[in-house]
Amino acid sequence: MNEFAAQHPLLVVALPKIVVLLFITLTALAYLTWFERKVVAHIQSRWGPYRVGPHGLLQPLADGVKFLFKEDVTPAGADKFAYFLAPFLALSLAITSIAVIPFGPKELTIFGQKTPLAITNLNIGLLVLFSITALGVYGVALAGWSSNSKYPLLGGLRSSAQMVSYELTLTMSVVGVILMAGTFNLSEIVNSQQGFHWGFVPRWNLIGSPMPQILGFLLFFTSAVAETNRAPFDLAEAESELVAGFHTEYASFKFAMFFMAEYASMITVSCLATILFFGGWLSPFPQTPFWAWTHYIPTAAFVIAGLALIANGVRYITMFGRLVLPVIGLALTGLGVLFAVPGVTDFVQGPFWFLLKILVFLFVYVWVRGTLPRFRYDQLMGFGWKLLLPLAILNVVITSLAIVVTQR
Amino acid sequence: MTAQMAVFLVLAAVAVAGAVSLILQRHPIHSALSLITVMVALACLYLLQGAEFVAAVQIIVYGGAIMVLFIFVIMLLNAGEEERTNLSTMARYLGVPLGIVFTIEVAYWVGRATLHLAPAPAEVVSTRDLSSLLFREYVLPFELTSFLILIALLGALVLARREETE
């Protein structure tokens, strides 16, 4: 098997990685809808999905089945080719971008082949991500145009103007990070953030030297929210004005594909924010003997979550919940115990911190949606061109000055 | 045939097919989509040559920004399908033969010029090398070009501004 793997590294190493990552991503997408509905519901003092499965955990499955069995209507006079192309383009581009995200520092060994914990490790990883984002506009613009309907056209127009405007800020806001790291390679950007100020404050780019990228991060996250067409920048699908904007005329699974594309871009943006500004997979604690106990934080987190779920599950209203929730809790606890095994502990550190940071950003995404009102269209354009872009240029100038001064 | 050659042939075929379809399509949006296909195929060809940065910039600038503007304008003006007319006498007897002659001439000269071409260096050109070339050796032409673009931008702004009535 090992010889076969050495001869066909693409087939044996890359293909399984792609399949596994795709499976994880699609499952994560489905449960992200559940997460968003739950969080928004609790922000608005509601319960959110509760009926389908314990705590509504089977809701994504029910939604998926419902989307599959809906009638797929094509509006009269629609441009067939573009109408079909748009959702495919949106979803495939959104999912492709996850291929360049590195999830951890350790190498994985599959049949004697060493491979990084990412599908590929590109020298121009960041640029590839931006080019995929640049092409992502077409999904929305084509959907709006090809539907042969008023509201989608307005939505498509709005969003293509918005995405072009905010893409500038998005790209400019990370220039500071690139200048400090000196590379486009995402793993190297993470590695450049190692080290600690005064022994305990992590040297992540957000608070890094020579120039903390706090401004850069705020610009990046704001324009990324606009780029993914999420509230409060979801002018392209403002339901109070445009019914549902660019995807008004889409039904069934084509609508679901737009939905999944939006959530996939949320995940990509969260990954990117973590990698660029928050040290990626790096632990927030120093790697000294004094801080050695922090290696058991993953174990503790999983065991506590598992035990809490068991305690909650045995008192759940339905019989089904009383059966399922403790089993999930038990699985989490078991994983936590597994993470305490010496060899596994080291391997788990990177992915654990990375996923935790991503989760924080996804929560912020939902939090922003739940609390901020939508922008007016002229405000949106003014905000992007007159405030964010000049600030992004300022950030580039200040960062380069700081680098030149400190390197002298 | 090496794998690289096969990839090159596929990409070249896609690029040419996109370019032909750009001319043959009747609807402006379909033409614009064909042009995007050409741009992306060209970017992949650059990538094949080891020019990573140029490939990414090709997609970001041409495939993304410029073509989105094209599509935006087509959508905004709601341009309809193009109407086809028969060729005029002038076009039929003068235009078609001339077009064929020019095509043959271009093909001949391109073929002659690329007959004894050295193979492209196999190593990947790093972005660092590219930028030090751009900002050290060729800084004057680079800055001149950006200045020219700035002038064009300002000119477009002046032309597009509404006349003030007061």
Q: In A, which residues are within 8 Å of B124 by CB distance? A: 123
Q: B75 contacts in A (CB within 8 Å)?
A: 141, 144-145, 153, 156-157, 160
The whole-angstrom distance between B119's CA and the closest CA on chain A is 23
A330 is a domain residue = no
Residue A201 three-state SS: strand
3-state DSSP call for residue B161?
coil
Answer with the residue of higher pLDDT: B41 or A193: B41
| Average pLDDT value for chain A | 83
Please state the ipTM of this predicted complex. Answer: 0.76
Burial of A52 (0-12, 13-18, 19+ CB in 10 A): middle
Q: Which of A393, A404, A20, A5 is nearest to A216 (CA)?
A: A393
Q: Do B63 and A82 touch (CB under 8 A)?
A: no
Q: Are strands A113-116 and A107-110 parallel, antiparallel or unpaired?
A: antiparallel
DSSP string covering B58-124, please? IIIIIIIIIHHHHHHHHHHHT--PPPP-PPPHHIIIIIHHHHHHHHHHHHHHHHHHTTTPPPPP-SP
Please write the tens of the pLDDT for every residue from A123-170: 788 888 888 888 888 888 888 888 877 888 888 888 888 888 888 888
Q: What pLDDT does A407 receive?
A: 79
Which band of pLDDT confidence, cut at 50, 70 and 90, is reported for residue B162? confident
Burial of B107 (0-12, 13-18, 19+ CB in 10 A): exposed
Q: Is the pLDDT of residue A251 over 80?
A: no
| Percentage above 70 pLDDT, chain A | 94
Please, which pLDDT band fits residue B50 given cuts at 50, 70 and 90?
confident
Region B41-53 average pLDDT: 85
A307 within a domain of the structure (yes/no): no
Which of A369, A269, A313 is CA-nearest to residue A39? A369
Task: Tokens 């788990």: give the residue.
Answer: A348
Quick check: B75 and A82 CB within 8 A?
Answer: no
**Do residue B60 and residue A134 have CB atoms under 8 angstroms apart?**
yes
List the single residue in B29, B68, B128 with the smallest CB-CB distance to A164.
B68
Q: How does DSSP classify residue B138?
A: T
Range of the domain at A274: 63-282+341-407
* Chain B interface disruption, residue of A10, A81, A124, most B CBs within 10 A: A124
d(C-alpha A19, C-alpha A1), whole Å: 20
b/e per residue A230-249 (b: at least 16 CB within 10 A): bbbbbbbbbeeebbbbbbbb
Distance between CA atoms of A6 and B1, rounded to whole angstroms? Answer: 22
Render A79-122 in DSSP notation, one character per residue: -HHHHHHHHHHHHHHHHHGGGG----SSEEEETTEEEESSS---
How many distinct structural domains can be found in chain A? Answer: 1
In a domain, A25, yes or no: no
* A292 occurs within a structural domain: no
From chain A, pick out residues whose CB is under 8 angstroms from the CB of B132. Answer: none
What is the model's pTM?
Answer: 0.84
How far, in Å, CA of A138 to CA of B75, rounded?
12
State the DSSP string of A224-251.
HHHHTT-TTS-GGG-HHHHTTGGGTT--
Q: How many residues does chain B have?
A: 166
Report how far residue A34's alpha carbon sits from residue A265's, in angstroms, rounded to the nearest whole number: 16
Residue type for position A83? Y
Question: Residue A94: inside a domain, yes or no?
Answer: yes
Tell me: the pLDDT tens digits for A74-110?
888 777 888 888 888 888 988 888 888 888 777 777 6
In a domain? residue A125: yes
Identify whether A31 is part of a domain.
Answer: no
B69 vs A: CB within 8 A = yes
